[in-house]
Amino acid sequence: MKKLQQLHFGKRYTKLPEHFYSKIRPTPLPAPYLVAFNRDAAGLIDLHEEEALRDDFAEHFSGNRLPPHAEPLAMLYAGHQFGHFVPQLGDGRAILLGELDNQAGERWEIQLKGSGVTPYSRRGDGRAVLRSCIREYLCSEAMHHLGVPSSRALCIIGSDEPVYRESAETAAVLTRLSPSHVRFGSFEVFFYRGQFDHIRVLADFVIDHHYPEYAKAENKYKLFLGEVTRRTAQLMAHWQAVGFCHGVMNTDNMSILGLTLDYGPYGFMETFDPGHICNHSDPQGRYAYDQQPQVGLWNLSCLAYAMSKLVSETDADTILASYAPHYYEQYVALMGAKLGLFKPGTEDLPLIYSWLELLQQNQLDYSNSFRMLGEFDAHEGALNQKLRDHFADRASFDAWAKAYRMRLLQDQQDDGQRKQHMDAHNPKYILRNYLAQHAIELAETERDYSEIANLLEILRRPFDEQVGMERYAEPAPLSARHLLVSCSS
C-alpha cells in the first residue's frame, strides 16, 4: 500500500488534442475537512487507509493541493437532455486529476466533483453541496456491492463555504473513481459540430484503452458499438432487477463502458410501482422506472447516429436490434435468480411478470417481498401462510403460488438450498431515500458523520443478515414516503 506522495498520476487523456477538454485548476475550497472515507475504494488505488488520518488529506482531495505532475482538466461533451439536444455541456463542476494504475493492473481515473468553475459551468458556481455528495458516495458503493457496474467513491471533503441551491447549503467535493468518464455525449458533441475526424480519434482512444481486443480488427468501430450496446443492455437489466431508478438518463450521463454514472435524483424502489418517477424534475415520467430499458436503447441510437461516419447504417441497425435480446437474456437470468429458479429462460417471463403484478396490486415493498419469498415452501399442500398474509388479495397470491410451486418442482432443489441461493440475490438492505436523508440531516445540522459510515458498512454486505441492523431493512415510515428528489440532488 502507498502513501499519498507515492501516488503517481498518469495523464493519458491530455494526450488527446485539446479539442477534447480544457485544462483548468480546481478552485481552492476554504478550510476543507474530511467528512467520509471509503477504505474499499482506497484499496483500488493502493492507497493505505491510514493516509486519511493525515492533516493534509483534505487538502489533497479538495483540489487545494495538486499531486506532482498532474494536469487537471475538464472534459468536453454534449448530450440529449430529456430528449432535447444541448450542443455543449462538459464537466461544469468536475475536474479530472488523472489516472492511477494499481497492483492488479487496473487503471482508475480520479475525478473531483464540486471542485470549482470550468469553461463548461454555464453560469453555475462549479460546486457540489454536501447533500448531493453524501448521496452519490453512498449509492455508488451500494450499487457496486449489489453487483451493479458503477463508478466508485473514495471520499467526501466538506467546507463551510456557502452554496446556494433551493436554499443555502455548504460546499463539498466528492472524489470518484472510474476506469473512464467518457460518455455517449463525448461523441455527440463532435458529430453535431461536423468534426468527424475528432470522433474517430476519440473512438480509437477508447478502443485502445478499454476495448483493446478490437484495436486491430478491420471492423473495430462496429465491434466497439456492439459491445457498448451489450453492456448498456445488461446495465439496464441490472437496474430493473434491483429496483433502481436513475432519474436523469440523459446521453451525457451514459457511460461508454456500461457503468452507472452521475448519481443525482436516484431512488431505489420501495412500494412497487412500475411507473415510479424518482425525479421531481421529470413530471412527464420520461425516466420512470418502466421506461429505463427503452431509454437505454434510445440513447444508444443517439450514439450510433454520432458514429455514423464510422459504422454504416445497416450495421448500426443490426447492432441496435441486438439490444433487446441482450437485455432479456440478462434480465431473465437476474430475475430468475431472485425467484430461485434453476436455469431460467424466457419461458419464465410470465411467472416473473405476474409476481411483479402481484406486488403492484397489493402495494408491497419490492426488495422485502423478494427476500420474504425465500421462505416459500414448495412442498405440495404447503400453506405458506406467513407469506400469504402479506397479500390483501390472497386468491391472486394462491393462484400465483400454485404456478410458482410447479416451476420450483421442476428444478428438484430442496427449500434450504433454494433459500440460500435466493438470499444471495435478494438484498436485505438497500439505500432507501429516508436512510440517506437521515444521514444527510445529521451531517448538515450536527456535523455528525457517523451515520454515513454506518450506512456504508451495512451496504457493503447487502445480502447478509446483520444482527442489530434489522431496522435498516424496514420500509420508509409514512412521514418519509414522499421525499422529493430533484436534479439539484
Q: Does 208 participate in catalysis according to the annotation?
A: no
Report helix angle 366-373 to 415-423, nearest 10.
150
Q: What is the C-alpha separation between 370 and 335, in angstroms, rounded? A: 10
Nearest to 100 by CA among 202, 201, 6, 215: 6
Task: Name the catalytic one among 252, 262, 282, 365.
Answer: 252
To the nearest 10°, the Cα dihedral for 408, 409, 411, 416?
70
Nearest to 259 by CA among 153, 146, 178: 178
Q: Quick count: other Cβ atoms within 10 Å of Cβ 249? A: 24
Q: Quick count: other Cβ atoms within 10 Å of Cβ 55? A: 6
* Neighbouring residues of 363: CB distance < 8 A, sequence distance ≥ 6: 271, 272
* Neighbouring residues of 208: CB distance < 8 A, sequence distance ≥ 6: 215
Residue pair 95/36 in contact (Cβ under 8 Å)? The answer is: no
Residue pair 267/485 in contact (Cβ under 8 Å)? The answer is: yes
Q: How far is CA 466 from the centre of its chain?
A: 24
Buried-exposed string 471-481: b where 16+ CB fall within 10 A, e elsewhere: ebbebbeeeee
Q: What is the C-alpha separation between 333 and 341, in angstroms, rounded? A: 9
Phi/psi of residue 412, each to 5°?
Answer: 55, 40
Strand partners, 268: 244
Nearest to 304 by CA among 290, 330, 322: 322
Reported as type and span, the H/E element at residue 73 is strand 73-75
* Neighbouring residues of 371: CB distance < 8 A, sequence distance ≥ 6: 422, 423, 426, 427, 428, 473
Q: What is the C-alpha separation between 77 and 57, in angstroms, rounded? A: 31
What end-to-end distance do the CA atoms of the chain give, in Å? 34
Q: How far is CA 441 from CA 23, 169, 434, in A?
A: 36, 12, 10
Q: Is the dihedral of CA 458, 460, 463, 465 positive or negative?
A: negative
What the block records as the C-alpha cell of 127 is 460546486
Reported as type and span, the H/E element at residue 158 is strand 152-164
Q: Quick count: other Cβ atoms within 10 Å of Cβ 412? A: 7
Which active-site residues does the annotation give?
A: 252
